[in-house]
Copies of this chain bind each other. A is one copy, B any other.
Amino acid sequence: MAGRTRSNPLALAVLCLLTERPMHPYEISSTLRERHKEASIKLNYGSLYSVVDSLQRRGLIAPQETVREGRRPERTVYTITESGITEMTDWLSDLLARPAQEFTRFEAALSLMPILSPGEVLRLLEIRLRSLRAQETAYEATFGGAPGAFPRLFLIELEFKARLLRAEIEFVDALADELRSGTFEGIKLWRRMHELRLAGTSPERIEQLLTEEFREEMSWLTELTDRG
């Protein structure tokens, strides 16, 4: 029943908030913002209203009343239904218990990295590192500084974010170091590849030359093509 409809976590957030009390969409969005959930759950109006619509069509929430305050536009207040509560519990449990493939942009970029030259990649990673370190300092200032200012129970996702940030800093720092010192495995092949490309060598010729010059490093390739 759920399947593909469980794509946008914003829908889950809506269900969770409506468990507390009935709200209208805009109130949902401002509550999420107040609680700093926009840092972990992508929120924009366009999606919010369409997500609310879809939840209603699926019978997981229901309009309770439409009120008009002063001459403001009408607001539709929604309640969660029985099946909405079930869906929320199931979905949230699933997200917590089952790791899912996540695709981050940085990962994608790393996977395509060899297309730039090692020197250029080093330069870019150094820039990234500065940003990441600044972010970490900002985190520490906000949460490390005032203990108990905001209870940990309601901030746990930021703690997780901070851990991932730390891991990324360590990774990027180590990688940059290896590029700087030239100890990165395969950097000679990588440099030669760009040398040839700059010289206007054709892709086929590049592959041929590299396979000759770096027999050992390229053995995986010949094995692959031998098998295929």
Q: Residues of A at under 8 Å CB distance from B?
A: 9, 12-13, 16, 19-21, 34, 37, 39-42, 88-89, 92-93, 95-116, 120-121, 124-125, 127-128, 131-132, 135, 148-154, 156-157, 159-161, 163-164, 166-168, 170-171, 175, 184-187, 189-190, 203-204, 216-220, 224
Contacts and interface: CB of A to CB of B under 8 A. Distances in A.
Contacts of A115: 16, 19, 88, 92
30 contacts: A12-B109, A21-B203, A21-B204, A37-B112, A40-B103, A40-B108, A40-B110, A41-B108, A42-B103, A92-B112, A92-B115, A93-B124, A95-B109, A96-B106, A96-B116, A98-B128, A98-B131, A99-B106, A106-B160, A107-B157, A110-B157, A151-B217, A151-B220, A152-B186, A153-B186, A156-B175, A163-B167, A163-B171, A164-B164, A164-B167
Given A103-B40, A109-B92, A109-B96, A20 B153 contact: no
Contacts of A217: 148, 151
A224 B30 CA distance: 14
A220 B150 contact: yes
Among A99, A102, A218, find the residue whose CB has the most chain B CB atoms closer than 10 A.
A99
